[in-house]
């Protein structure tokens, strides 16, 4: 599934493809979708996302939408949020969901894992301070439970608490009696989900085309 195409690829696809790792076909398909979502404009805004009907019944749609506008997901040092994104940012966010290719070194695989976990971390850490506090985690659990009838705050709290407790004991282990656990840092997060096989779980099959890119 290489890069045989009927029409020559625009030059910008080349850059994008190198940056994100998608093949030209995939980029073309995603571009079409981008245009569809943005009603042929050049940028996507949040209200475009809220127009997607299927997304409306998703309990974490707010987080998903925010993830697209979060500059931390665009580049390593980004901070803050933007109001509108272009196609390139759209692609970069999408590239977090590419399945791992078979021929990767262990180091590359580790990097991919870190990236994906970073994406998840950013989704949880809404105030950009680098840790997931108890409140933020509680918010996550509440959202997850929000679609299921009555919002049971107490249970959400206790679940979140138990989860934090678990993280604490996994990452910090032995704690002094007067210490308390600030929040989940990215390292703790990595350790927590170490056995989770995130690289295969966090992938969309549709984007699973072998990306042999040939730039002109």
Partner 1 sequence: MAVLGPGPARFWSGFTMVLLLLTGSSRTRDVLTGHNDTWREPSTATQEDHDPDPHNGTNSANHRKAFPVLAFNYGHVRKPFEISLWILLALLMKLGFHIIPRVSNIVPESCVLIFVGLLVGGVIKAMKEKAPVLDSKLFFLYLLPPIILDAGYFLPIRAFTENMGTILVFAVVGTLWNAFFIGGMMFAVCQIEAAQVSHVDLLSCLLFGSIISAVDPVAVLAVFEEIHINELLHILVFGESLLNDAVTVVLYHLFEEFSHAGTVTAGDAFLGVVSFFVVSLGGILAGIIYGVLGAFTSRFTSHSRVIEPLFVFLYSYMAYLSAEVFHLSGIMSLIACGVIMRPYVEANISHKSYTTIKYFLKMWSSVSETLIFIFLGVSTVEGPHNWNWIFVIFTLILCLLSRVLGVVGLTFIINKFRIVKLTKKDQFIVAYGGLRGAIAFSLGFLLTDNEMKHMFLTAIITVIFFTVFVQGMTIRPLVELLAVKRKKESKGSINEEIHTQFLDHLLTGIEDICGHYGHHHWKDKLNRFNKTYVKKWLIAGERYNEPQLISFYNKLEMKQALMLMESGSAAKLPAVSAQKIQPQREAAPQRTIPRIPKTREAEIRKILRANLQKAGQKLRSYSRHDLFMDPFEDDVTEFRFRRQRVEMERRMSHYLTVPAKRQETPSVRKVWFEPEHKVYTYDDSESPGGGAVQLKPRPSDTSLLDESPKSTDRSPTPQSEDQSERQKPSRCLSDPGPNEDEEGSSFFLS
Q: SS3 of 184, please? A: strand
* Residue closer to partner 1 (CB basis): 11 or 105: 105
Which of 202, 212, 23, 21 has the alpha carbon at shortest distance from 114? Answer: 202
CB of 173 to partner 1, least distance (A): 6
CB of 123 to partner 1, least distance (A): 8
* Residue closer to partner 1 (CB basis): 8 or 53: 53
Footprint of partner 1 (CB under 8 A): 30, 33, 36-37, 49, 52, 54-55, 57-61, 63-64, 94, 97, 99, 102, 120, 123, 134-135, 140-141, 144-145, 147-150, 152, 154-155, 157-159, 161-170, 172-175, 177, 180-181, 192-193, 195-196, 200-208
Structure token digits, residue 198? 């995130």
- Phi and psi, residue 19, nearest 5°: -70, -40
CB of 208 to partner 1, least distance (A): 6
The gap between the terminal CA atoms of the chain, to the nearest Å, is 18
Helix axes 87-95, 61-68, angle to 10 degrees: 120
* Residue closer to partner 1 (CB basis): 63 or 71: 63
* Residue closer to partner 1 (CB basis): 8 or 149: 149
Which of 195, 184, 51, 175 has the alpha carbon at shortest distance from 130? Answer: 184
CB of 216 to partner 1, least distance (A): 27
Calpha distance 9→7 (Å, rounded): 6
CB of 145 to partner 1, least distance (A): 5
Look-up of token digits 């509680």: 138
CA distances from 90 to 23, 94, 162, 177, 196 (A): 15, 6, 35, 46, 26
Structure token digits, residue 25? 């076909």
CB of 149 to partner 1, least distance (A): 4
* Residue closer to partner 1 (CB basis): 11 or 31: 31
* Residue closer to partner 1 (CB basis): 96 or 213: 96
Look-up of token digits 């995130």: 198
């Amino acid at each position: 599934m290489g890069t045989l195409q009927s029409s020559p690829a625009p030059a910008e696809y080349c850059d994008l493809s190198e940056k994100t790792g998608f093949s030209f076909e995939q980029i073309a398909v995603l571009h079409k979708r981008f245009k569809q979502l943005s009603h042929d404009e050049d940028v996507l805004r949040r209200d475009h996302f809220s127009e997607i009907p299927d997304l409306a019944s998703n309990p974490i749609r707010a987080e998903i939408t925010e993830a697209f506008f979060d500059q931390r997901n665009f580049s390593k040092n980004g901070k803050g949020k933007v109001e509108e994104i272009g196609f390139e940012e759209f692609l970069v966010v999408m590239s977090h969901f590419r399945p791992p290719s078979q021929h990767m070194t262990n180091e590359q695989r580790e990097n991919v894992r870190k990236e994906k976990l970073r994406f998840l971390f950013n989704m949880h850490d809404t105030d950009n301070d680098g840790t997931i506090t108890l409140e933020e985690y509680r918010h996550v659990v509440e959202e997850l439970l929000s679609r299921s009838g009555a919002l049971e705050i107490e249970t959400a709290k206790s679940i979140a608490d138990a989860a934090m407790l678990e993280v604490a004991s996994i990452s910090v282990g032995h704690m002094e009696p007067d210490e308390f656990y600030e929040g989940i840092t990215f390292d703790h997060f990595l350790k927590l989900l170490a056995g989770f096989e995130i690289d295969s779980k966090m992938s969309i099959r549709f984007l699973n085309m072998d990306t042999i890119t040939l730039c002109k």
